Amino acid sequence: MASVSAVLLQRSSSRAREYLRLQRTASYSVALHLEGEGLRWWWSNSCGRGGRFGARAAHRMAGSGEGENGGVPEGGEVAMAPGVVTGGVEDAYGEDRATEDQPVTPWAVCIASGHSLLRDPRHNKGLSFTEKERDAHYLRGLLPPVVLSQDLQEKRMLQNVRQFQVPLQRYTALMDLQERNERLFYKLLIDNVEELLPVVYTPTVGEACQKYGSIFRRPQGLYVSLKDKGRILEVLRNWPEKSIQVIVVTDGERILGLGDLGCQGMGIPVGKLALYTALGGVRPSACLPITLDVGTNNEDLLKDEFYIGLKQRRATGQEYSELLDEFMAAVRQNYGQKVLVQFEDFANHNAFTLLEKYRTNHLVFNDDIQGTAAVVLAGLIAALKSVGGTLADHTFLFFGAGEAGTGIAELVALEISRQAKVSVEAARKKIWLVDSKGLIVTSRKETLQPFKKRYAHEHEPVKDLLGAVKAIRPIALIGSAGVGQSFTKEVIEAMSSINERPIILALSNPTSQSECTAEQAYTWSQGRAIFGSGSPFDPVKYNDKLFVPAQANNAYIFPGFGLGVVISGAIRVSDDMVLAAAEGLAEQVTPEHIEKGLIYPPFSIIRKISANIAARVAAKAYDLGMASQLPRPKDLVKYAESCMYSPVYRSYR
């Protein structure tokens, strides 16, 4: 039997002591000792587990026979720790007496109260605890006497964040808030989303990932490394939450436009899931950020003494594939088949392979491929409300043929095929791609990667982007190559000479990698461009007219998409569901938005947008027979809104 110590912190009471029966689970035994309803007591075992319970919880535990075996076998023993005193001043746990060489028990609190409640980010309310709550949960004296409303706390925190001039300092301040007061963090983000989104996510999160080793304070997700091969299920079970609905996972090889950041890419899953909650309403406790550490090929990180990941070259081939297979199997075994796994910032050579490999047997979504495609398609549909015609009436040129570029192209082709009732192969003829070697044409087919070959059309070779624009004469130029300033003045002027309202989408992140700035697009097109970008740009004044650049941010799509998958209980993600998300976003763009040059609705109504997208996605899942949440709600928009997480403080008994 496991060795056990039980230490009772007794509180004065006139009631008689009550000895409850001995309790045993598969891994521990403990004696419960209760003195009055106000008693607080502690238990621990040799496995390092421990807890603190109130009287009612103790009664429930003792009477329920918790644990697999329940009760104590004949001959079982419980060793009571020496020095049980009512004052609780003795070093009962031996931590002060222990040397650095002696192990001590890492105590954990099961029912939060007092100091531990103030350290619990999910339940901590800071100065918003009422007088009654302070008495009921032993907080009296642990807080200053003032009681503040959550709105006043939010006002003060926003003022503090604004005092920082450096974006990374703002990011750190917000992450610190998330770690100490979860509800206040999300209320602040929801109420000020347009101001704080660039801080919590792109472009600031890119710098945060680059410096993650230096600013690292405490882990915010799960790290699964090559060292864990063969025991990934065990690692997943170490995460305290068991009801997980959305996982965002990265291997850190292609973080935004910054390249291989290895284990420090954790900032991306953490940021994405913060937006799942703030923008899409998925509960924080149902979200799990994961980084797969398979090494890094970044020489600077390998030499960095503060790097937090494995200092070895990236695993490839069979070793990499086996780790991913084990990870996906462990996720399914631990959380079931209805947990959405979002692949994030995997390199091109893995992104397409993983999506195709797992999409038939797992609920998977790649935001870089499918999410980016949906938000860009929505922008193109909205832009055509100003330009005129349908997608099938125009030609599109992509600068960048990686996972984002080809993902967008494929979804646009799918939408053209649906609208024009032609085959996807025929629809692809409307789409041309330029990569680092020039226009993708049939004469290059032998040297092209498989996902590029479908867009190799008959044409003379063209070596540069300007030549491709002049040859193809597209209505829209879409950049996703991560090559900053590649949309030169000559390129924009060429687009403007071909079209009255050229569509210019500079999608690469962060801002330094953007193909052009908003000011350049409007100036070089003489104010005629319909502009969208991946990173935010300030409004531009040209010829006394104010232009508000549209941000083609994936945050328009993936939070609502994920919510739709969750509320419908979808078991697979289909292309039709991604198309439904794009159409749901496009229909939120009003004529007033178009008049201002906007091809996306304002982020200030993002929760309304997400609810509508979720409803469209869920409806498609039900129509395709992929939904398991039955019966189907009559009003999916209202149902989606009712399922959204609220960051408003709860009252405690």
Catalytic residues, which ones? 201, 272
**491 with 466: CB under 8 angstroms?**
yes
3-state secondary structure of 386: helix
Closest to 267 in 3D by CA, of 220, 199, 197: 220
Please, which residues bridge with residue 540 across strands? 547
- C-alpha count within 13 angstroms, C-beta hemisphere, residue 507: 31
**594 with 386: CB under 8 angstroms?**
yes
Binding residue per annotation — 69?
no
Burial of 63 (0-12, 13-18, 19+ CB in 10 A): exposed
Distance separating alpha carbons of residues 282 and 27, to the nearest angstrom: 34
Binding residue per annotation — 393?
no
Please, which residues bridge with residue 292 across strands? 224
Distance separating alpha carbons of residues 222 and 534, to the nearest angstrom: 28
**29 with 72: CB under 8 angstroms?**
yes
Binding residue per annotation — 359?
no
DSSP for 455-471, please give it. Answer: T-BS-----SHHHHHHH
Binding residue per annotation — 298?
no
**385 with 561: CB under 8 angstroms?**
no
**607 with 190: CB under 8 angstroms?**
yes
Binding residue per annotation — 344?
yes
Q: What are phi and psi of 363, to 5 degrees?
A: -90, 90
The amino acid present at 66, given as its one-letter code, is E
**286 with 327: CB under 8 angstroms?**
no
Q: At what angle do helices 193-200 and 167-180 cross, to 10 degrees?
A: 100
Distance separating alpha carbons of residues 535 and 511, to the nearest angstrom: 6
Binding residue per annotation — 650?
no
Q: State the binding site for (S)-malate.
A: 254, 509, 553
Known binding residues for a divalent metal cation: 344-345, 368
Binding residues: 254, 344-345, 368, 509, 553
